[in-house]
Amino acid sequence: MSLIWFRVDQKLIHGQVSVAWVPYLRADTIVVADSDTADDNWSQKVMMMGLPPEVVTVLFTAPEALAGLLAGPELAGRKVLAIFKDLRGVRAAIQAGLRLSHLNLGNQAFQPQTQEIRLGHTFYAGRPDIDLLRELSESGLEVILQEVPSGKATRWRPAK
């Protein structure tokens, strides 16, 4: 398996992913690591409707099962784009054995009740997410804010 990109995107599979990231990465497989979506056939069907023809495989799994899925024979030789719905999913996957060197922060909506901070054009994070990003960054994970491949990529670093 040739793992290409790990992304956090609250919308999971949508236009930015289908039209921009898939062709840019030449991904032929998308893995959505989100427990709720893994159990929701209707959401899966909706997400798959707009996929480009080069995506031949879409898999839905719980974040905790992602490391085993990526290491298994089912994805051998595939170019995989793995998408998490939120940072909690990233942490769950890492705690279950997933190793990653980079993480793309794509989209996370503003939630006024949690007093979130805008990290990027379309990525907002509350204090728990900021703390988790700090932890991930300090462990060596490169955190990149970038909506689409043609947009500016900014490395996220914790405030000192």
Q: Could you report the per-residue pLDDT of 66-100, keeping only the tens digit for each?
A: 999 999 898 988 999 999 999 999 999 999 999 99
Mean pLDDT for the stretch of residues 6-14: 94
DSSP 52-116: -TT--EEEEE-GGGHHHHHHSGGGTT-EEEEEESSHHHHHHHHHTT---SEEEEEEB---GGGT-
Q: Could you report the per-residue pLDDT of 106-116, keeping only the tens digit for each?
A: 988 877 666 67
- Fold classification of 2-156 (topology level): Fructose Permease (3.40.35)
